[in-house]
Structure 1
Amino acid sequence: MIRQQVLDPAAPLYRRHTWPFELKPLTLPDMPAFFPQYTAEQAIETYAVLGGMPYYLISVDAQIGLW
């Protein structure tokens, strides 16, 4: 609906949005910024379970095991 009402050139709200960029999930190389004490294996496991959503990554307690 957003694309149709705001991003389409024929829409009345065209070019009135303030943030035209889609935020992409973080990638595996970004994991050490959230979990610097994790080994590479732990970082991969965490990324496999949580993906690259920053909100999910900050909600994990790094002191407690993922599983």
Structure 2
Amino acid sequence: RPDPDARFRDDLLALQKRAASALDLLGAERLDGEELTPLPGAEELALLRALRDAARDGTYDTVVVDLPP
């Protein structure tokens, strides 16, 4: 099962690295991973991303999702 907290932190920290020059220009301080909390809906987004990744990587011919009605 995907860990939405870790994925959110990793993505936001990567975004901070890519935007480092803009953050420096604005005088903004970077956040530490321990300061970040996931947004509402992060768990659902992490599950959808895991499904997308499973479908794209070619390991499986078919990805089946069993959901309630």
Range of TM-score over shorter length? under 0.3
Q: Greater CA radius of gyration, 1 or 2?
A: 1
Higher relative contact order (CA 8 A, sep 6+): 2
TM-score of the aligned structures, taking structure 2 as reference length: 0.25
Query: Which has the larger share of helix?
Result: 2
Instruction: Give the structure-1-normalised TM-score.
Output: 0.25
